[in-house]
Amino acid sequence: MTPSPSLISDLPSTAHHPVEILRFNTCGSVDDGKSTLIGRLLYDSKSIMEDQMEALERSADITGGGEINLANLTDGLRSEREQGITIDVAYRYFATPRRKFIIADTPGHVQYTRNMVTGASTANLSIVLVDARHGVIEQSRRHTYISALLGIPHIIIAVNKMDLVDWSEERFLEIRDQFESFLPRLDVLHDVKFIPISALNGDNVVTTSDKTPWYQGPNLLGHLETVHIASDWNLNNFRLPVQWVNRPENPRDESLHDFRGISGQIAGGIVKKGDHVLVLPSGYKATVKDIWTYGGSIDEAFCPQSVTIQLEEDIDISRGDIVVGIDDLPGVESDLRARVCWMNQKPLTKGRKYFLKQGTQTVQAMVTAIDSKVNFENLKMEPEPAELAVNDIGEVKIKTARSIVYDAYQTNRLTGSFILIEQGTNQTVAAGMLQPPNAAFNPEFTDYTI
């Protein structure tokens, strides 16, 4: 195809005013038009440059019979271009005057579900593409389920190739009904929007199409630019996983002789100078003396800022510990329940040992039971499967060599998530989402109320 001229008049902003970032991923099965949609967004937002266009035209002349394929923009590896498929997660960037966007283009093949989990784990929003001719297929259910499982706050179901069903409102509603018949079975989907589009021609992608007078909602880019994302991070319960202890050696500055900083990225909540906190798993209580940053001391900091805090008390603290607020304490346990997405060709069987990395701590862990496995045909949990194969999602029990400090994934995506690493090969074999702790941490000392 030859893309039509762009209809966006504004160039990307030079950003003298603050602009926020929205991260989204695209998913759909093969040929649903993911790469075409991304190509369209990039092209119409003037994010495709002349030399990229020339490269596209060159490859069109050589391999495409003269037809430009926008998918070649994102399919960056040689074997992808040869096979016309997307193998790995590709990240793309574009901006409009209102927002900057990071796209994770995630492949739709059954065998590449792990890539979708990868791309979706950091997303504010998921675009699930459906071919209007085929409607909901197993892949659509799988992608929507994974988006829900990963707690992505916002979903767009983009019903693509509407031009091939004559822009039929009836067909669009039929597909919406198909989705709505299973959406309630998914855990946490608050914000789901259906948009009829043609990625190839650009209808309802960056401009509102005149072919869908029956559709009153926003076009796709309009929604991406305006969807409310300010509350996507957890700002309720203070969590600071200790990444690195900052102790200057032989500082030239006298005042730094006693500097003892706790560096990390705040994984939840807000912290203020003078706040009472607990250090877990030890349970020591402490008071925040200072929040140190390169630009100077600050009075408060919030998730997901990277900071260095100093405590009044000189207590033993190291990487893997977590500093938490004294309200709403996390669990500190070694018997865990979790949902995992299995990502390795070697299936998961119970009794095997792995490294479990959660927050900044890595512990030895054993999967002691596989309780159930998702059947993507009906989205029901099948009890007691013998194993989890690659791309399976299931509920498991895990025993860790020492207690870990964690929250339910539903409450906090950063302190409720983990990966499993195979010992020896060091492959990342699973992504895990923790179920709520059996009990919140219970401090043993009596003068706990401060």
Partner 1 sequence: MSAYHLDHLEYLETEAIHIMREVAAEFERPALLFSGGKDSICLLRLAEKAFRPSEIPMPFLNVDTGHHFPELNEFRDRRAKELNGKLIVRKVEDAIKAGIAVPTPGEISRNKLQIPTLLNAIEEFQFDCAIGGARRDEEKARAKERFFSFRDGFGQWDPKNQRPEIWNLYNARVNMGENMRVFPLSNWTEMDVWEYIRKEKLEVPNIYFSHERECVLRHGQWLPVTDLLPPKEKERVETKIVRVRTIGDIISTGMVESPANSHDDIIAEIAAARVTERGSRADDKASEAAMEDRKKEGYF
Looking at residues 175 to 194 of the shown chain, list those that interact with partner 1 (rule: CB under 8 A): none
For residue 85, the minimal CB distance to partner 1 (Å) is 12
> Using CB under 8 A, which of 164, 183, 270, 389 touches partner 1?
270
Count CA atoms within 13 Å of residue 355 on its CB side.
13
How many angstroms separate the CA atoms of 128 and 259, rounded?
Answer: 49
**Interatomic CA distance for residues 256 and 259, integer angstroms:** 5
| DSSP-assigned letters across all residues of 353-416 | EEEEEETTEEEEEEEEEEEEEEETTTTEEEES-S-B-TT-EEEEEEEEEEEEEE--TTT-TTTS
Question: How many binding residues for partner 1 (CB under 8 A)?
Answer: 80
Q: Contact, 258 vs 266, CB < 8 A?
A: no
Residue 244 lies near partner 1 (rule: CB under 8 A): yes
User: Which of 235, 298, 366, 381 touches partner 1 (CB under 8 A)?
Assistant: 235
Smaller CB distance to partner 1: residue 172 or 292? 292
HEC secondary structure over 262-325: EEEECCECEEECCCEEEEECCCEEEEEEEEEECCEEECEEECCCEEEEEECCCCCCCCCCEEEE
- By CB under 8 A, tell whether 2 contacts partner 1: no
Residue 59 found at the interface with partner 1 (CB under 8 A): yes
55 binding partner 1? (CB under 8 A): yes
C-beta separation of 407 from 415 below 8 A: yes
According to CB under 8 A, which residues from 306 to 325 bind partner 1?
306, 319
Q: Which three-class secondary structure state does DSSP give residue 83?
A: helix
265 near partner 1, judged by CB under 8 A: yes
Is residue 263 a contact residue for partner 1 (CB under 8 A)?
yes
Stretch that binds partner 1, among 51-59, 153-161, 192-200, 282-290 (CB under 8 A): 51-59
Both tokens of 240, joined, read 């600071």
C-beta closer to partner 1: residue 52 or 207: 52
Asked if 264 touches partner 1 (CB under 8 A), the answer is yes
Q: Is 259 in the site for partner 1 (CB under 8 A)?
A: yes
Q: Coil, helix or strand for 175? A: helix
**Biggest CA pair distance of the chain:** 78
Q: Does 401 bind partner 1 (CB under 8 A)?
A: no
Residue pair 34/86 in contact (Cβ under 8 Å)? The answer is yes
Considering only the stretches 111-119, 134-142, 182-190, 280-288, report the one whose residues sit in contact with partner 1 under the rule CB under 8 A. Answer: 111-119
Q: Which of 37, 71, 117, 156 binds partner 1 (CB under 8 A)?
A: 117
**Under rule CB under 8 A, residue 6 binds partner 1:** no
224 binds partner 1 (CB under 8 A): no
**Taking CB under 8 A as the criterion, which residues in 419-448 touch partner 1?**
419, 421, 426-428, 431
- Asked if 64 touches partner 1 (CB under 8 A), the answer is no
We find the least distance from the C-beta atom of residue 426 to partner 1, in angstroms, to be: 4
Among 1, 11, 315, 440, binds partner 1 (CB under 8 A): 11
Closer by beta carbon to partner 1, 230 or else 450: 230
Please give the C-alpha separations between residue 245 and each of 67, 260, 287, 357, 409, in angstroms, as whole numbers.
Answer: 56, 7, 17, 19, 26
**Structure tokens given for 216:** 């009153």
- Tokens read off for 128: 């699930």
Chosen residue from 83, 91, 349, 448 binding partner 1 by CB under 8 A: 91
Q: Is 38 in the site for partner 1 (CB under 8 A)?
A: no
Rounded-to-integer distance, Cα 444 and Cα 431, Å: 33
253 binds partner 1 (CB under 8 A): yes
